[in-house]
A and B are shown apart, each in its own frame.
Chain A
């Protein structure tokens, strides 16, 4: 995918993340405290939209613009999915951000999220040095 197309997709995603407030630490807190249904409704609707879309793409054997078969390959499923997932959940609850929203928080002027980003980059980097020693 070329640079301009990728940039435009990111631009739209950034606007949607910000306008929908799913990048809000407060929204994430209320989600985990079961105080508000908003996040569950947004994520649930997104997944349902995705499921229906993928079923349509598969049923009509839609190809990509470059005439390739679409990439429906599954991610690996192992112990890391669970252990890494729980670690990720900790971080999500602490920072109120997952990878996409970290960048959106920075873009919208919550500059302290740069610290979240540096931590995330450090974590992603360090993982590669210890991955062979971790259960997989």
Chain B
């Protein structure tokens, strides 16, 4: 089954190549979650002092990277695809669903800042650089996900 469809191989290689590509072209470590802070400062002008340990200049590229992600996924579905996407269950389109996603999103935002990275920053970039902390973070991500999936 794994070898009938090699999509995982193609997409895995493409995602992994963002690490060297961003290093060579911009000398930037690939990671999305600190971009959440950029948005906070952009829409809430007085928040700059709140993020005292955060380097805005070196992370400002992430805002444009994020805009690119939104445009890219739009193109993927509406120009390269048939206009249909089904990535979230229908029952999220309800008051209860909106609340659940808000709470889940809160965990994603809070947790990724506390852990100083997310799937891209720790699991892809950090592991690519064989950083022990990123291995610990990645294991923690999966422990959290497994606890929620199996016990909650």
Expressed in whole angstroms, the Cα–Cα distance for A77 and B117 within the complex equals 11
Are the C-beta atoms of B70 and A127 separated by less than 8 Å? Answer: no
Expressed in whole angstroms, the Cα–Cα distance for A117 and B106 within the complex equals 8
Are the C-beta atoms of A46 and B12 separated by less than 8 Å? Answer: yes
For A4, the closest partner residue in chain B by CB is B64
A124 in contact with B23 given A91-B107, A107-B74 (CB within 8 Å) = no
A75 in contact with B11 given A15-B72, A33-B149, A91-B111 (CB within 8 Å) = no
CB neighbours of B86 from chain A (8 A): 24
Cβ-defined partner of A57 (8 Å) among B23, B70, B126: B23
Dominant SS at the A interface?
helix
CB neighbours of A6 from chain B (8 A): 26, 61-65, 68
Expressed in whole angstroms, the Cα–Cα distance for A72 and B121 within the complex equals 12
Are the C-beta atoms of A112 and B109 separated by less than 8 Å? Answer: no
CB neighbours of A20 from chain B (8 A): 7-8, 11, 14-15
Distance in angstroms from A15 CB to nearest chain B CB is: 4
Expressed in whole angstroms, the Cα–Cα distance for A108 and B39 within the complex equals 20
Are the C-beta atoms of A116 and B108 separated by less than 8 Å? Answer: yes
CB neighbours of B26 from chain A (8 A): 1, 5-6, 64-65
Expressed in whole angstroms, the Cα–Cα distance for A121 and B139 within the complex equals 24
CB neighbours of A89 from chain B (8 A): 111, 140-148
Most chain A CB inside 10 Å of its own CB: which residue of B24, B73, B127, B130: B73
List which A68-97 residues lie within 8 A (CB) of chain B.
68, 70-77, 80-97
Are the C-beta atoms of B149 and A10 separated by less than 8 Å? Answer: no
Interface size class of A (residues with CB under 8 A): 35 or more
Cβ-defined partner of B68 (8 Å) among A2, A9, A48, A102: A9
Binary contact track B1-23/A, C-beta < 8 Å → 1, others 0: 01000011101111111111111
Are the C-beta atoms of B89 and A25 separated by less than 8 Å? Answer: yes
Expressed in whole angstroms, the Cα–Cα distance for A72 and B22 within the complex equals 12
For B64, the closest partner residue in chain A by CB is A6
Distance in angstroms from A108 CB to nearest chain B CB is: 4
Are the C-beta atoms of A10 and B69 separated by less than 8 Å? Answer: yes
Distance in angstroms from A128 CB to nearest chain B CB is: 5
9 sample A-B contacts, Cβ–Cβ < 8 Å, listed by A number: A19-B80, A46-B12, A64-B24, A74-B134, A81-B137, A87-B111, A125-B44, A131-B113, A134-B114
- Closest 10 pairs between A and B when the two form their complex, measured CB to CB: A10-B68, A89-B144, A14-B72, A45-B12, A119-B105, A85-B140, A49-B16, A50-B128, A84-B114, A123-B109
Binding site for A on B (CB under 8 A): 2, 7-9, 11-29, 32-33, 35-37, 39-40, 43-44, 47, 50-51, 61-78, 80-81, 85-89, 92-93, 97-134, 136-150
